[in-house]
Every structure is written in C-alpha cells, then in structure tokens.
Amino acid sequence: MKKTAKRALSKIKKMGGTIRTSDIVKGKKNTKAESTKSKDGSKEVIHPRTLYELRDEGYLTQISRGVYQLAEKPISNPDFVTIGMRAPRAVVCLVSALAFHNITTQIPRSVSIAILKDTTIPRIDNPPISVHKFSAESFAAGIEEHSIDGISVKIYSTEKTLADCFKYRNKIGIDICIEALKLYKSRKKVDVQKIIKYAKICRVYKIMKPHLESIL
C-alpha cells in the first residue's frame, strides 16, 4: 500500500471509520474538509484518487454515493447510516420506524423519512427513500437519536410512530397500523398517555381511540 493510502486509512480510522467525501475530499470548495480536524489538530484532507484506490483495493466499502466505511468495520444497518450521514435533519418514520422498533412483520422496500414542510427533499439514490413532509409541531414531536454503527440517526419514538402510521393509514394500510398496536402491546411497555399525546398532535385521536380501547 502506498504511503498516501496508509495515511488516508489512518485518518479515516481516527474519524470513526465512516466518512462523507464532502467532509474529507481534497479540492472541493466550501466543504468541511477545510475545517475538519482530527484529535491531534491536523486537517483531514484526502485526495479523491486515494479514496478510490482504497475502495478498489477493498479497504473501504461504498454504502451510498459519497459515503464510505472501513471494510473491516461491521455494518449493521447501512441504509440508516446513509440517512444519518447524508440527511442528518431527516427523521426515520412510518414502517421503517416500526421495523426499527420491532413492531411490524413488514419488510420496508424503502426508508421512510420525515422532513419539515417547505424544506428541500434530500437527494439520495441509495437506499431508495420515501419522503413525507410533516408540519412543524408533528415533525418536532417524539424524535429520538440512536447511534447506529457510530452514526447518529434520528428516529421517531414507538408511540409517535404509531400515531404517524394512523395518520398515513390510507397510504400504508390500516391493517399494518392495527398489527403494530398489537405487537406494541405484546413486545413493549405500554404507555397509553404518550400515544394519546402524539395522536392529538397528529390529529388522529378520534380515529385511534376505538382501536386503543379494543387492543390496549
């Protein structure tokens, strides 16, 4: 391995093993590469050619456009890592959040994310995403931050996700919503007051109430 590649690999390890090219690649204007520093104070700048060499030689794995991870580092959820890296303000929601909380039997075909109304839709080619625009109050409610493979990913809480699913019941299917409630009861510590709180924020309390009474 070339000396430049060894130095680059060492820098990537110091940065946690997962990087965005916009944060580290030499030659891009107005990127964090100009100000990002390692623990020893040195700037983390890598030439694109070196990055591609590390990828081609198997030292790095490209998990999405512009997102790389050390091949030796286990990846438990590359889709969520990509969302956390490329759309850090977005929140994983609906069926994707149900799957994360283990209260659905569905296998999401795309990652559902929520963004604030009037904001730009993230440009992510892989994984496929399903974007939903939430009002300010609904968007801000129930956000949790989880560390996945060392990357912070925003995901709605279990109770907020249940309310969101009922709000989008016509898109995802009422059967998925009811199944999620049943699995929530059997697998989680039930907090009806939280569900009611988020149901009112999402304006679906009247719709959820009979299901809550019959299932919970």
Q: Are residues 66 and 163 in the same domain?
A: no
Domain end call among 75, 104, 125: 75
* Confidence band of 32 (pLDDT split at 50, 70, 90): very low
What is the per-residue pLDDT for 74? 81
Range of the domain at 93: 79-215
Is this structure's pTM higher than 0.75? yes
Tell me what percent of the residues of the chain surpass a pLDDT of 90.
Answer: 73
Q: Are residues 154 and 168 in the same domain?
A: yes
Domain end call among 75, 102, 133: 75
Whether 138 has a pLDDT exceeding 80, the answer reads yes
Q: Are residues 121 and 70 in the same domain?
A: no
Which of 63-67, 99-103, 118-122, 188-192 has the least mean pLDDT? 63-67
Tell me what percent of the residues of the chain surpass a pLDDT of 70.
Answer: 91
Phi, psi of 73, deg, nearest 5: -90, 125
What is the per-residue pLDDT for 29? 44
Q: 59-64: long-range contacts (C-beta < 8 A, 24 or more apart)?
A: 59/5, 59/9, 60/12, 64/124, 64/125, 64/126, 64/127
How many structural domains is the chain composed of? 2
Q: Please, are residues 44 and 33 in contact by the beta-carbon 8 Å criterion? A: yes
Q: Are residues 90 and 172 in the same domain?
A: yes
* Confidence band of 16 (pLDDT split at 50, 70, 90): confident
Q: Are residues 38 and 114 in the same domain?
A: no
Q: What's the average model confidence in pLDDT over 123-143?
A: 96
Q: Are residues 140 and 169 in the same domain?
A: yes
Q: Are residues 71 and 105 in the same domain?
A: no
What residues are paired with 155 via a beta bridge? 92, 144
The three-class DSSP label of residue 112 is: strand
Q: What is the DSSP string of 28-92?
A: -TTSGGGT-B-TTS-B--B-HHHHHHHHHTTSEEEEETTEEEETTS--S-HHHHHHHHH-TT-EE
Domain end call among 28, 51, 75: 75
